[in-house]
Amino acid sequence: MIAIKTKPLGKILPSLKKGGVRTFLIPITLILISGIGVLVPSTLSTQGRLAIFAFLLAAILWSTTSINTAYVALGSVIFLVFTGGISQEQLYGAFASHVVWLMIGAFVLGGAVQKTGLAKRLTEIVVARANTVGSLFWLLTTVLIPLSFLIPSTSGRAAVTVPIFRSIAIATDDKRITRALALLMPTIILVSTIISFVGAGSHLVANDLLLQITGQQISFGQWMLYGLPFGVIASYISCWVIMRLFLNKRRLHQKLEVQQTSQKPLTSLEIKTLVIVLLTVILWLTQSFHGLEIATVSIFGAMLLTMPNFGVIKWKDGINSVSWNLIIFVGAALVLGRSLISSGAAEWIIGHIFALTDITTTKSHLVIFLLLTIISLTSHFYITSHTARAAVLVPPLLYLATSLNLSPIAVLFLSTLGMDYCLTFPVSSKALLIYQEMGGEATYKPSDLLRLSAVLIVVHFALMILFYYTYWNWIGLSL
């Protein structure tokens, strides 16, 4: 006979004793409750039930587990396909969306800016002009803001600026300055996201959902008109807050000499990249004149930058610069959002959930604006993914706008602006995580970020109110 040694169950599954069950208990419980909950309403169609359950499934896993967000989104979509909630053609159609192509083109553009060293060079040129720590912070803010037009990813912009951070950190051995700098750079990257339509994938998802629900869209130029002044002012105020919270006057006036890596003028590749990127942005801004979609223009720019014997990077390098994980996530999120719309589930949610509150009967735009602002600004507390926040919140908010005869464009932009704020926890953004630890040492503590966010969330709230009743009202962006 063969003796088989057995081990106690606790040793075979140690994770179960160390909190493994507890880790999955919350999501499993919430999923079961959601599954039972969607079976209760008698007025909801079968496709509506499936769409809501798939959406809740994704939202629960996004919020309570560390499973990759793209994997969760795609898994929820496959569930819909297998259960008949959507057709296979709807799945394929979402990945053929102009949003996906726009992101692919924009990532190639950003890859060229990064690989040719243009972004790093332009940043160094500006930073090298700083004489003191205070002037350095202002100049860094100035150069980080326009990166939202060049690199369509907050994590991508953070990665590009890491070498600059390290060169400055070497120039000073003061850990307090390093901590303030590690907070400044991701903060400006995130706060300035709103200035550009291509600043984040969530903007593209939100705009696509706006088109699906209302037939309206915000153009690149309109987005810039609405968001650029706010993003610039919010960025400079954020810079001032960081300096006041984490640096004293002595450190702000401390002399600092940052050496440029290269004193040479712009290379031909850098100049060519700059010209093509500027041409692309100009074509984005003038869409109403030439009629070319910004996705088409993005692909055209990407083709120029990767053209054999003319481009600045190889086609293979351009393709490798695309964040395919984000592309899959956005495509799957579009399917989930569209399934809520086509099945009538989103409209049903508004009719039955928002009807339980007084908001559906209120005529006060101030009350609606304040509620919209609070919901969007705090959404990163319970949904850490930027794009997931847009996919979850935009459909019901747009249907709320329709039911109250509000401007859907205003509702979308204001809610997206609030959702762009995600500074409370390091896990709320990859840009924050990138800067949290450098060289194996922590640059700032989560408590530092919490302290900063406690001030900046109030600043953002006040700024949104100020802009709503002044600038946005003057240019016609109102509820």
Question: Is 22 within a domain?
Answer: no
Question: Is 10 within a domain?
Answer: no
Query: Whole-angstrom Cα distance, residue 92 to residue 311?
Result: 31
Question: Is 281 within a domain?
Answer: yes
pLDDT band at 464 (very low <50, low <70, confident <90, very high): very high
Q: Decide: 396 and 385 in contact? Cβ < 8 Å.
A: no
Question: Is 76 within a domain?
Answer: yes
Question: Is 308 within a domain?
Answer: yes
Give the residue numbers spanning the domain of 288: 54-474
Looking at the structure of the chain, the number of domains it has is: 1
Query: Whole-angstrom Cα distance, residue 159 to residue 37?
Result: 43
Confidence at residue 294, expressed as pLDDT on a 0 to 100 scale: 76
Report helix angle 324-342 to 345-352, nearest 10: 70
State pLDDT tens for residues 86-98.
Answer: 888 888 887 777 7
Instruction: Locate 387 and state its tokens.
Output: 């794009």
Q: Taking every pair of C-alpha atoms in the chain, what is the biggest distance, in angstroms?
A: 88
Query: Whole-angstrom Cα distance, residue 174 to residue 176?
Result: 5
As a whole number, mean pLDDT of residues 52-71 equals 81
Q: Is this prediction's pTM over 0.85?
A: no
Question: Is 385 within a domain?
Answer: yes
State pLDDT tens for residues 294-318.
Answer: 788 888 888 998 998 888 888 988 8
Confidence at residue 9, expressed as pLDDT on a 0 to 100 scale: 42
Q: Decide: 455 and 245 in contact? Cβ < 8 Å.
A: yes
Residues 6 or more apart whose CB falls under 8 angstroms from that of 168 comprise 127, 136, 181, 256, 258
Confidence at residue 382, expressed as pLDDT on a 0 to 100 scale: 65
Query: Whole-angstrom Cα distance, residue 214 to residue 395?
Result: 10
